[in-house]
Structure 1
């Protein structure tokens, strides 16, 4: 591999499940155009543009006796579909997966209709062109009217068929919360491959946030603080809202920061991605 290497690490790999029966030690390298997996006896190369699926988590059936967590990369080579497995119980490998998602998706030209729905009401918004980019816990659409969808605010997404400029096209329909409203954004990609990878990105990021939230226990007061901040309350309003004194609010805020649900910003406390997801999980249980 030549210049521009963005990932280079060694781990257990199965470069091609069609040719390898069990993992071997291998070196994984990636630049902006391709991934190379080098073992003692072989060298497997595939272009990032040939990746059509990417997943992080449990290994496929039949391989779980070898791996705990894996990055599974499905790609095409000489007209055939191949699958590579890369041992994933490592922050370096998670970063590789993030870079591969970005390599496949970043800069893709898409058409976006936002909001296509507000609640159950269909809007008269039209589709506009934008450039797609993946950011930490967000999908961003750069255009004259930029848009960002926070993954933790997504409650549902599916592939649908819609008419765009007189032609029926497949779209990714994403239901999420935006400025306190439940809205639906529709995204059109000309590549089925990239649409599949974008859907996988949303599913992977959401699943990871759910796992993080599952390890966090919250008191009723902490949930009320999160929902209050999400609903626009200031730190100064929280004491009266909860019926407690200011020192108790400070304690609760510090506790939520330690649990990774709040982050300190220039404007005060802000919900983290996991904190936003926690609100979605509990908002119906709170009557503020």
Structure 2
């Protein structure tokens, strides 16, 4: 079925009136659902799992966490479950203070909103001229993306606000000249009101009859300016675009930079310097040549959506306001990440560490953090996910299958990183989306190739799928991120190699792995190895317990670990 594009302004306005026509118990959740989707871009699952704790009333922002405990039927399946954002979304922070009505509704919601689709259908039935079949939560989310585009937020800014590339959403109208004047383009206003604004629900604070909240009583952000700009770049972009549009509508000139940007309030706690949600908070020793103090210090490392903060124990007790006590690193300034590197002069201090190279002012610096291997794995996994999520790339997949060239050409795709896999989405429809489990990666190699007309660094990533080796060519469009992506994949690959070093194999197990590694597809192992079925089943059970093979209805296939084990054992025996 073809996915439909965004709803127009009149349809959103009519839906809101329809929501106000529902019974008192359903009025607030229906109105909240409508604006959370159509003006904040939340996906249906995110609305259904909305938690009032996600609202930061100081900044008037809503934070979608990377995961949260949930006992609903969809998440729990009879057991305690965990909810995570949909695959096409990500943890992020969204401003709501730019609209008094949206802010008032979000502030009034007391819990999760169940039956999003039912609420929308009932609001559509009560709205004049709307067919309930034309309204659903996904279409509402696309409407929110179109709103951000019309306001004038950049493609990259919208990707941060909605957790995905806006060009990948069907029916969204691209505006390459992204101008806030598009917000108040001329159109016939809805006939039910005397409004001269193109988005009356968003910017007209007049209370409707039977409205469950009073926009005039909406809480105002106390940090980051009147639109909840906070410290997030995309939030600030949205707030500034709305302010420009308001001024232009009233015939006023664009604000000067000093009028647009508000002076941030002094931070009284480390968390205020970071874009929420916080995803890592560890006690650690660290050293940095960017701090105005020498030697290893005790402190904490916080990781937010867009920054890393290292601060000393002194600052932890009474949060310091000088660069001698804290180091704030924007993730966009990170140029490299190294593992298990300890300079010789610190070998007596650190046993295991992560080194983060970054720009600080005009200089390059290194932050060295001592982390135990158990903490290091989780920390770097989260760090890399934040660095790469929703990253544009040119990708050809597969360029080869079992070594045979396919002639596949590169197409624009978006990279999404998950704890155990990387996924490439296709925003333009010119390529097929695909996912590579990290555990199935068996080779990573750097090279230089022509992509379009430019010679660029590329990574060839070989992975297993149905016992066949596919190779993808990946070239991120940002050179800095290409370097980090290579570091990320090679480290994940090395982790897998390290895990197989101590695996003990019997002669029968080695024979099965070698047969699978040399076969073109899924072979008849019993015939190939001349072994009886019971013996073969026992070997496969043992190999499966070691995560070296996968046994399914279509046969037996090697895992990435199994392939690497087979190849390395064969090479060692030569």
Given the two structures, how large is their TM-score scaled by the length of structure 2?
0.44
- Aligned twin of 1:204: 491
Q: Figure out how many residues of one structure are paired with residues of the other and give that number.
A: 282
Q: 1:47 aligns with which of 308, 330, 335?
A: 330
The question of 1:88 aligning with 2:384 is answered: no
Partner of 2:308: 35
Partner of 2:219 in structure 1?
A: none
Q: In 1, are the aligned partners of 2:290 and 2:327 still within 8 Å (CA)?
A: no
258-267 or 38-47, larger mean C-alpha shift: 258-267
Q: Would the aligned equivalents of 1:175 and 1:182 in 2 still touch at CA under 8 Å? A: no
- 1:135 Cα deviation (Å)? 3.3
* 1:13 and 1:86 in contact (8 A); partners too: yes
- Aligned counterpart, 2:389: 106
* CA contact 1:171–1:186 (8 Å) conserved in 2: no
Alpha-carbon distance, 1:187 to partner:
2.0
Other-structure match for 1:147? 434
Gaps of at least 5 residues in structure 2 are: 1-270, 315-324
**Would you tell me which structure has more helix in proportion to its own residues?**
2
Instruction: Judge conservation of contact 2:301–2:309 (CA < 8 Å) in 1.
Output: yes
Residue 172 (structure 1) aligned with residue 455 (structure 2): no
Cα distance in structure 2, aligned partners of 1:280 and 1:138: 23
- The 3-state SS of whatever aligns with 1:224 is helix
- Contact 2:463–2:560 (8 Å) recurs in 1: no
Q: Distance in 2 between matches of 1:101 and 1:193?
A: 13
* CA apart distance, 1:64: 2.6
Shift of 1:4: 0.7
Question: Aligned with 2:340: secondary structure?
Answer: strand
Task: Give the structure 1 partner of residue 281 of structure 2.
Answer: 8
Q: Is the 8 A contact 2:290 2:365 kept in 1?
A: yes
Return the match for 1:216 from 503, 512, 526. 503
Quote the residue 1:275 is aligned against.
Answer: 562
Between the aligned partners of 1:276 and 1:185, the Cα distance in structure 2 is: 18
CA deviation profile, 1:105-132 (whole Å, cap 9, x unmatched)? 1110111123345577655432211111
The structure with more radius of gyration:
2
How far does residue 209 in structure 1 lie from its aligned partner after superposition? 1.0
What's the CA shift for 1:204? 0.7
Distance (Å, rounded) in 2 between the aligned partners of 1:247 and 1:17: 64
| 1:37-83 deviation line (CA, Å, top 9, x unaligned) | 11124111101111111122242443333222211111111121111
Structure 1 residues 227, 12: CA separation in 2 closer, same or farther (over 3 Å shift)?
Answer: same
Answer whether contact 2:442 2:563 (CA < 8 A) is retained: no
Mark the CA change 1:17 to 1:251 in structure 2 (over 3 Å): closer, same or farther: farther
Kindly tell me: are residues 10 and 80 of structure 1, through their superposed partners in 2, closer, same or farther at Cα, counting changes over 3 Å?
same
Measure how far apart 1:248 and its partner are. 2.6
**Deviation, structure 1 residue 185:** 2.8
Give TM-score scaled by structure 1 length: 0.82
Match in the other structure for 1:157: 445
More strand, by proportion: 1
Structure scoring higher RCO (CA < 8 A, sep ≥ 6) equals: 1
Q: Distance in 1 between matches of 2:551 and 2:403?
A: 35
Deviation at residue 259 of structure 1 after TM alignment: 3.0
Extract unaligned runs of 5+ from structure 1: none
In the TM superposition, residue 211 of structure 1 has moved relative to its aligned partner by: 0.9
**What SS is found at the alignment partner of 1:97?**
helix
**Equivalents in 1 of 2:567, 2:462: separation in Å?**
10
Counterparts of 1:52-67 in structure 2, within 5 Å, are 52-67=335-350
Give the Cα separation in 2 of the matches to 1:168 and 1:210.
34
